[in-house]
Structure 1
Amino acid sequence: MVIFILRRLLQACFVMIIISLISFAIQDKLGDPVQQMVGMTVSQQERDQLRNELGLNDSFLSQYWRFAQGAIQGDLGTSYYYKEPALDVILDKLPATLELAFSAIFIIIIVAIPCGVWAAIKPKHPVSRLIMVVSSIGLSIPIFIVAILLVYVFSIELNLAPSFGRGETTNIFGVWESGFFTKDGLRHLLLPSMALAIALMPIFIRLIRAEMMEVLQSEYIRFAWSKGLSAPRIYFKHALKNTMLPVITVGGIQAGTLVAYTILTETIFQWPGMGFLFMDAVNRVDTPLVSAYLIVVGGIFVVTNTLVDLIYGLVNPTVRLASHGL
């Protein structure tokens, strides 16, 4: 087990090195940051001096080595626009993104599990067929189309929810500004969280249905029927519990994907989170902030996937055996 954990941690460190290298390498492709930082009246001599002060004239390896040394100490550079450490700027926006992601996960759980279970228990029922048709359509529609439709229906036509902004927030424990505990905050959270949930919900509905149908054909379920156990106990205590292991595995991986999807969602709904910050950083050619964002998001993916691997290895010993070639 120790070897299994060490191997996963070494793989995570290697992936983070690759992510940091790629995120730093694309800085030169975004444009000239000096052009965005100074006005048209600044002379070329002053521009060159600023480039030297920022270290932009150094070789790529020198710049990356300097960047890597700082990154190990938690310093991912200083934002050109905000004049603050890039990591601090991102962490200031992180609660808004996590709030949006947690809301989407909550919607997915309360909708996908009942729909997937029902579609598995009664696969030929008209409601089950409708669920599968809708989920197929949901897999085909891009998230920005879903977001625009939600804005048009619920904000413009029905006027039930605001179409942009985060709304009123309250300070929780002195460290987290949240809209969970205000009516206005919840109203602003409704549409973006629905858009984000709809983007991933069809995957979970179809996965739960497929796993549940497979479990219902297993021998121990047939034995439970022969013992005369009630249908709810068989479906929800025995079948669903064994269905959820692969679902949790995929869910852990998709949790990292939610952060990536927030770029489009936050841009459309003007949600002040990490995704909206990233788009602003790209427009302003704020390369330290762009690199820091990519590293943070990559870190979220790596940490999430590593934890899923470790938890799955603890629950299912065959994974550990397979990793050792047994």
Structure 2
Amino acid sequence: MITTIIRRGIQAMFVIFAMTLIVFLGVNVIGNPVDILVNPDLNQAERLRVVERLGLDQPLWQQYLTFLKGLTQGDFGTSFVYGRPALDVILDRLPATLELALLAMVIALVIGLPLGLYAGLYPNRISSRVIMTGSILGFSLPTFWVGLMFILLFAVELGWLPSNGRGSTVEFLGARWSFLTADGLQHMILPALNLALFKTSLILRLTRAGVQEVVAQDYVKFARAKGLRENRVILVHILKNLMIPVVTIIGLEFGSLIAFSVVTESIFGWPGTGKLIIDSINLLDRPVVVAYLMMMVVLFVTLNFIIDISYTLLDPRVRLDGKG
């Protein structure tokens, strides 16, 4: 297993290296940041000084080598807009996105897993059909429209919840967090529900499909024939055996919550990395865009590795080295 972990680590490094080239070239061949960042009234000599200060006067291959050298030292470059290290700019916003993604995933699991289990165990009940119809709506409704409806209903009409910003924060472990204050939690509810809607439907339908497949297996029928309590049959024989695809989707979808929360953060004015990347793309702040994309690459590679390890814990028949 150790050999396999090392091999997977080497494969991950090759993936990350390939993505550095793709991301760097993809970002640096689009547009000219100088046209946006400097005053158009500047003369040519002043514009050239700005180009030189930003390092854009070097050939693209030399910029890439400088970028790779910086990566080995944890340096993603200096933001053109903020004048600070790009990684620091992202890390300042990352806690806001992390806590929102975690809350959204918790909501999706708490709602989607039990409802999917119920709909799979009792597929012919009217309530199960209502649940599955609701899951179709979760897939179909656009995120931006649902977010606007949430704001209109809960913030404008009812006045129950705030619709913009992050609310009060408290410093913990060197970062600012909203979930530690009542006001911050109130600000988190609407954007978290908006993020969780699609994930809830996905987990619900995946769980239902898994239950219907597992419940027909011989070991489940045998467990019931032995007279085991239904709760034990569900928790030990059904739920445990359908968790492998669920764990896969949880890991990947959590990564997508962090990487693709752009729409939700923009609608609710949530100061996370999603809103930051939109602003950085509009301003052609290349170091921040590249740093963000590379962080997402590392995140997804790491999540896939953790998922592979989790398989062996959930099902001893699964071996990373392909044996057994």
Normalised TM-score (structure 1): 0.94
Contact 2:92 2:175 in 1 (8 A): no
Q: How does 1:144-163 map to 2 (within 5 A)?
A: 144-163=144-163
Q: Which structure 2 segments of 5+ residues have no match?
A: none
CA deviations over 1:73-105 (Å, ceiling 9, x no partner): 100000011111000110111100000001001
The percentage of counterpart residues that share the same residue type is 41
In structure 1, give the amino acid aligned to 2:49.
Q
Match of 1:11 in 2: 11
Contact 1:30 1:282 in 2 (8 A): no
Contact 1:112 1:202 in 2 (8 A): yes
Query: Is 1:114 the equivalent of 2:143?
Result: no
State the alpha-carbon separation in 1 of the partners of residues 55 and 182 from structure 2. Answer: 48
Q: How does 1:25-104 map to 2 (within 5 A)?
A: 25-104=25-104
Q: What is the aligned-residue RMSD (CA, Å)?
A: 1.7
> Does the residue aligned with 2:49 lie in a helix, a strand or coil?
helix
Tell me the CA shift for residue 311 of structure 1: 2.6
> Does the residue aligned with 1:107 lie in a helix, a strand or coil?
helix
4+ aligned runs moved over 4 Å, structure 1: 313-317
Contact 1:163 1:191 in 2 (8 A): yes
Match of 1:21 in 2: 21
CA deviations over 1:174-193 (Å, ceiling 9, x no partner): x1211112111111000000
In structure 1, give the amino acid aligned to 2:190.
L
> Does the residue aligned with 1:171 lie in a helix, a strand or coil?
strand
State the alpha-carbon separation in 1 of the partners of residues 27 and 210 from structure 2. Answer: 44
In structure 1, give the amino acid aligned to 2:247.
I
Contact 2:54 2:80 in 1 (8 A): no
State the alpha-carbon separation in 1 of the partners of residues 316 and 252 from structure 2. Answer: 17
State the alpha-carbon separation in 2 of the partners of residues 299 and 144 from structure 1. Answer: 28
Match of 2:207 in 1: 208
> Does the residue aligned with 1:76 lie in a helix, a strand or coil?
coil
Tell me the CA shift for residue 19 of structure 1: 1.9
State the alpha-carbon separation in 2 of the partners of residues 82 and 321 from structure 1. Answer: 47
Q: Which structure 1 segments of 5+ residues have no match?
A: none
CA deviations over 1:287-316 (Å, ceiling 9, x no partner): 111111111112111111121123324544
Normalised TM-score (structure 2): 0.94
Tell me the CA shift for residue 160 of structure 1: 1.4
State the alpha-carbon separation in 2 of the partners of residues 250 and 319 from structure 1. Answer: 19
Tell me the CA shift for residue 266 of structure 1: 0.6
CA deviations over 1:214-266 (Å, ceiling 9, x no partner): 11111121111112122222112321122222211221111111112211111
State the alpha-carbon separation in 2 of the partners of residues 126 and 261 from structure 1. Answer: 35
Match of 1:127 in 2: 127
Q: How does 1:138-217 map to 2 (within 5 A)?
A: 138-173=138-173, 175-217=174-216
State the alpha-carbon separation in 1 of the partners of residues 187 and 114 from structure 2. Answer: 26
Moved more, 66-75 or 36-45: 36-45
State the alpha-carbon separation in 1 of the partners of residues 6 and 191 from structure 2. Answer: 39
Contact 1:30 1:287 in 2 (8 A): no
In structure 2, give the amino acid aligned to 1:141.
L
> Does the residue aligned with 1:320 lie in a helix, a strand or coil?
coil
